[in-house]
Amino acid sequence: MINTRDEFQNYFFIIANEIQKVILSSIGDVDKKDKIVNHTLLSLSNSIVEQAKSIVILLNANNVEAVGLILRSQFELYLSVEFIVQKKEKGNIQKRAKAHYYFSRLQSLNNLKDFEEANPDDPKTYTAEDCSRELENATNIQDLIDHYDVEYKKLFRYPPKKYYYKNWFTIDEQHSFSIQRLVRILKLEPSLYTLFYKYGSMDMHGSSIYDLQKKRFSKNMVASMTRTLVQINLDRLVKFYKIESSETTDLLSNLDYINKKLKEE
């Protein structure tokens, strides 16, 4: 029998992981979703859950100061899922998923290339074998960068000169725009941008050390916010993949019950 808050908290994530397993097992039956869509959405969802676990661990250790950075990251992951699966006339799910994947790979590979060039005597962290495994006939990081750069720009109605000149979620727009506008486009509550992104940005840049107001955000409030993002995300993917089973319904219902129970305490 579950009695303590910690037990309820742990059970929440046990159920979340079970829902992830159901989603993963069901994907083989879905023909219309391609590999990159599945890989992108599942990777984003997994990170949302894992970051929520990290936030709860920090809160339990009374380390409220450290959660802002993770909250901002979790919010961006959540926005990514929402943007990819939305139903709009402009663009499509596959294109949006590819944009996120290619942009992420370009960032990672360019950082890796810069690191290796700055440390030429260190062993290569991404070998020729690694490159060819990721892309046939690729022999080095630059081959991968060139490939993803071309594929990424193909997705844009107005291709940028440099991949980093435009955010990945602006593939159908003439000009790039910010996360704040993305929140408006997705018709989300504007206060979420302030709570998750703006305060998280202050932590990221070190300016929050002078912000006394952030202390009014209680541990329970932060824990509730991060759990709710997990719940919304999993519910969204279940609906996206049209998973209809009594098991899934029961799991989502239990997740909602526990989240509400924790909010009451």
DSSP string, 98-110: HHHHHHHHHHHHH
In terms of C-beta density within 10 A (0-12 exposed, 13-18 middle, 19 or more buried), how is residue 181 classed? Answer: middle
Query: Does position 15 have pLDDT exceeding 90, yes or no?
Result: yes
Q: Which residue has the tokens 């824990």?
A: 223
Expressed in percent and rounded to 5, the helix, strand and coil fractions of the chain are 75, 0, 25
Query: In the structure encoding, which two tokens stand for residue 230, read together?
Result: 């997990």
Tokens, residue 171: 């593939």
The lowest-confidence range among 60-64, 155-159, 161-165 is 60-64
Q: List phi, psi (to 5°) of 166.
A: -135, 140
Place 146 in a pLDDT band, splitting at 50, 70 and 90.
very high
Which pLDDT score is estimated for 179? 94
Q: Give the pTM.
A: 0.90
Of the spans 85-99, 120-134, 150-164, 217-231, which averages the highest pLDDT?
150-164
Are 163 and 106 spatial neighbours (Cβ–Cβ below 8 Å)?
yes
Mean pLDDT of 112-139: 92
Who wins on pLDDT, 7 or 17?
17
Residue whose token pair is 């984003």: 44
Instruction: Give per-residue pLDDT as tens, 192-226.
Output: 888 888 888 888 877 777 766 555 568 888 899 89
Percent of the chain with pLDDT over 70: 92
- What backbone phi and psi angles, to 5 degrees, belong to 155? -75, -20
Query: For the chain, what is the radius of gyration of the CA atoms?
Result: 20
Nearest one of 88, 90, 80 to 37, comparing CA atoms: 80
* 261 pLDDT higher than 50: yes
More confident residue, 4 or 181: 181
Q: What angle do CA 9, 10, 13 make, to 5 degrees?
A: 95
Residue of higher predicted confidence among 2 and 94: 94
The pLDDT mean for the chain works out to: 89
For the segment 165-193, the average pLDDT, to the nearest whole number, is 92
Give the pLDDT confidence of 43-101 residue by residue, as tens digits.
999 999 999 999 999 998 888 777 888 999 999 999 999 999 987 544 589 999 999 99
The answer to whether the beta carbons of residues 226 and 59 sit under 8 Å apart is no
Mean pLDDT is highest, among 4-8, 66-70, 138-142, 257-261, for 138-142
Residue 29: both structure tokens together: 């039956």
User: For residue 90, what pLDDT is reported?
Assistant: 43
pLDDT at position 174, please?
93
In sequence order, what DSSP letters do the residues of 174-225 get, joined into one string? SS---HHHHHHHTT--HHHIIIIIIHHHHHHHTGGGG-GGGGGS-HHHHHHH
Please report the sign of the dihedral spanned by the C-alpha atoms of residue 50, residue 51, residue 52, residue 56: positive
Angle at 46 between CA 205 and CA 79, to 5 degrees: 55
